[in-house]
A and B are shown apart, each in its own frame.
Chain A
Amino acid sequence: MSRKLPALTAESQRFWQGGAERRLFIHRCQPCQRFFHPPAPVCPHCLSEEVAATAVSGRGQVATFTINHQAWTPQLDLPYVIAIIELDEQPGLRLVSNVINCEPAKVRIGMRVEVEFLQQEDIWLPLFVEERS
């Protein structure tokens, strides 16, 4: 199914296209070493502009999730799982994504997941599957 795709910006480009090299990029501040999301040209913690998209492990856990049952548009394959993933690199480093290739009823908060990319046009969406130990 085709999805709504994001506009690319100087800040977001590596996040959305890092999947071409099978890597998930999250912005990181060089001086204070903290990651942050969504990407921006300045660190929201220390205001340094020495920030760069930095490859992360792509591993984390489900912070919370929902199983969507509503057919908002005809294109959706139901049901599907939307989740907030907390990445291993830093407590509270979160992004919204989907958990795929998993029975929705088996998804749990705290479940270990790893990234898997879905390419649509020039975007590689970072989706998550149950971690393969």
Chain B
Amino acid sequence: MKSDRLLEKNVAITGIGQSEVGRPSAKSAMALTIDACKEAIADAGLSRDDIDGVAAWPGDNNNGDAFSPVGPNALIGTLGLKVNWFGGGYEGPGPIAGIINGAMAIAAGLCNHVLVFRTITESSRRQVNKNAGALSNKTVGRDSSFFWQWYTPFNVVSGINLMAMYAQRHFHEYGTTEQQLAQIALTCRANAVHNEKAVFRTPLTMADYLDSRFISTPLRLLDCDVHCDASTAIILSRKEAARDGRNPPIRIEAIGSALHQPWSWDQIDLTGMAAKDSAKMLWQRTDYTPKDVGSAQLYDGFSILTLLWLEALGLCDKGQGGAFIEGGHRIALDGQLPINTNGGQLSGGRTHGLGYVHEACSQLWGRAALRQTRPHDVAVVAAGGGPLAGCVLLVKE
């Protein structure tokens, strides 16, 4: 057994919370954050005074920028928390790094209940300035970023340009088609129809997909996630401290956080990304296998990334992602492997990382209402693209 000696298994998710998902929201970034955090703390059956740790990715790494306007520093005083450990920051295993770091802090004995959160207000920002998120605007004057400087001089203005090249390579190597890739967007929309909080809920057809304009070939507008204003919060608890909560604890069965390649968007495996390292580590830390997974929440900042995660995690064979999702029936709510059951970020809204964890728990706890899948106890969450990659296997006790 690879089981009990791995300390992440002593950590469980005990509560979840999420603000409104606005496009845009009238609330401030901090107000959204408080909504999510208070809901999560209450859901776990805890009080503010029980929280002794705070984790976020990426935290406030750019002075309140809409990508991540609130970090642990600001939240601690606002909520009157007394913490024994806290941490944020961009450099880590992608959008669910807060979950991974928080679990490590508990496993290391630094704290008992960690509040993990992620706030984003990119919809509000786009009302003011559509180009504010351009990669070329990340530095003033000459580009001195250790990685963007190798891309922005060639008019790589958005991350989609890099991830479109992964898609093109996958199409070339494995014969993946645009009609196959369409199933990620169509599945997310079909799920969003049943999610009252989703940003886009009008049903989509294959014709709608093929008619949507190219942004960066072969990726179209409907392959891109949708900006929103929202905050999501997750409570992690030491397992012994989790038993008295309201919800059956959801154990962190295994973590994938590996990077065995350069932190780069072009010097990595173009169809495996860092996801393949992260996913390999995950399965090395558990006796469960991909066949045990009842639902998968897989990052869809751009649709191609979901397909690459399906392969990286061994949920289908390498190169067979297109065939696996063809027709959409395998990945539908009633299929063998439901994915992105709340509409993902493509239709649900770009809550960026923790939204997937929130949805995985909703499914495991049977709270997903009209979008509830068949009951299951094992779910996988994976987030990130390119060199950003982190994943967790969740098991309801």
A residues apposed to B, CB below 8 Å = 3-8, 12, 37-38, 44, 63-70, 72-73, 76, 80, 82-84, 94-98, 109, 123, 125, 127
Q: Point out the residue from B144, B156, B213 that lies within 8 Å of A82, measured CB to CB.
A: B156
Task: State which of B156, B216, B267 has its C-beta within 8 Å of the C-beta of A37.
Answer: B267
- Check: B143 CB closer than 8 A to any chain A CB: yes
Q: How far is the CB of B176 from chain A (nearest CB, A)?
A: 13
User: Of A4, A65, A127, which is within 8 A of B168 by CB?
Assistant: A65
Interface size on B, residues (CB 8 A): 38
Bound Cα distance from A58 to B169, whole angstroms: 22
Check if B217 is an interface residue, CB within 8 A of chain A. yes
B156-185 at interface with A (beta carbon < 8 Å): 156-158, 160-162, 164-166, 168-169, 172
Residue of A7, A63, A94 near B142 (CB, 8 A) is A7
Using CB atoms, name the residue of chain A closest to B161: A82
**Proximity string of chain B (87-118) to chain A, C-beta cutoff 8 Å, 1 when within and 0 when not:** 00000000000000000000000000000000
Is B165's CB under 8 angstroms from A82's CB? yes
B270 at the interface (CB under 8 A from A): yes
B172–A109 CB distance below 8 A: yes
Expressed in whole angstroms, the Cα–Cα distance for A4 and B144 within the complex equals 11
Residues from chain A with a CB closer than 8 A to the CB of B262 are 44
Chain A residue at minimal CB-CB distance from B149: A6
Residue of chain B at shortest CB distance from A73: B131
**Distance (Å) between the CB of A32 and the closest chain B CB?**
17
Q: Of B136, B143, B154, B172, which contacts A64 at CB under 8 A?
A: B172
Q: How far is the CA of A73 from the CA of B134 in the complex (A)?
A: 8
* Assembled-state Cα–Cα distance A82/B144 (Å): 21
Instruction: Decide: B155 and A66 in contact? CB cutoff 8 A.
Output: no
Q: Which of A4, A97, A109 contacts B169 (CB 8 A)?
A: A109
A72 to B169, CA, bound (A): 23
B266 interface residue per 8 A CB criterion: yes
Residue B76 at the A interface, CB < 8 A? no
B365 at the interface (CB under 8 A from A): no
With A82-B154, A125-B153 already in contact, 13 other A-B pairs whose C-beta atoms are closer than 8 Å: A3-B155, A5-B153, A7-B144, A63-B270, A66-B165, A67-B216, A70-B157, A70-B158, A72-B157, A73-B134, A84-B266, A96-B150, A97-B154
Give the complex CA separation of A96 and B266 in angstroms: 7
Chain A residue at minimum C-beta to C-beta distance from B268: A94
Are B270's CB and A68's CB within 8 A? no
In the complex, the answer to whether B270 meets A64 with C-beta atoms within 8 Å is yes
B195-237: contact bitstring with A at CB < 8 Å (1 yes, 0 no)?
0000000000000000001111111000000000000000000
Residue of A8, A73, A76 with highest tally of chain B CB at under 10 A: A73
Given contacts A72-B134, A84-B266, contact A96 B156 (CB under 8 A): yes
From A104, which residue of chain B is reached at the shortest CB distance? B217
List A contacts of B142 (CB < 8 A).
Answer: 5-8
Contacts of A3 in B (CB 8 A): 152-155
